[in-house]
Amino acid sequence: MLIMQKEIMNVSELAEYIGVSGSKIYKLIRDKKIPASKIGRQYKFSKQVIDSWLKEHIITSSLNGPLFQPKKNIVKGGEKNGEEKSSEEKSREEESGEEKSR
């Protein structure tokens, strides 16, 4: 199904459009890192302005580190899905295990 993007978006629509949470959008607004217009009590975003902003930040973010951090899936034991613990983490666990057994 073809979904047309609105030219003017609210916070939840923008969050869905760029793939982040609404709270991340509010943080970007607070930090003055995203172009937003406040109309009454609501923030509104121009799709054209956001698209330009994204293009600019995709280029500069590669120099300054990622603009958006991917969400990490945490499972019991502190291990992330599909990732193993680093040797440093394993060493700390082994040391703390030895201390507990003493």
Model pLDDT, residue 74: 46
Residue 33 lies in a domain: yes
Please report whether residue 14 resides in a domain.
Answer: yes
Range of the domain at 36: 8-64
Report pLDDT for 29.
94
29 touches 43 (CB < 8 A)? yes
Q: Residue 18 domain-assigned?
A: yes
Tokens 């590669």 sit at which residue? 62
Instruction: Output the pTM of the full model.
Output: 0.55
| Residue 96 maps to a domain | no
**Bridge partners of 45?**
9
Q: What is the pLDDT of residue 58?
A: 74
Q: How far apart are CA 85 and CA 38, in angstroms?
A: 45
Cα 26 to Cα 32: distance, rounded to the nearest angstrom: 10
Could you tell me which of 101, 80, 100 has the C-alpha nearest to residue 69? 80
Q: Is residue 38 part of a domain?
A: yes
The DSSP symbol for 34 reads S
Q: Domain containing 28 — which CATH number?
A: 1.10.1660.10
Counted domains in the chain? 1
pLDDT averaged over consecutive 10-residue blocks of the chain (102 residues)?
74 93 94 94 95 81 56 50 54 55 48
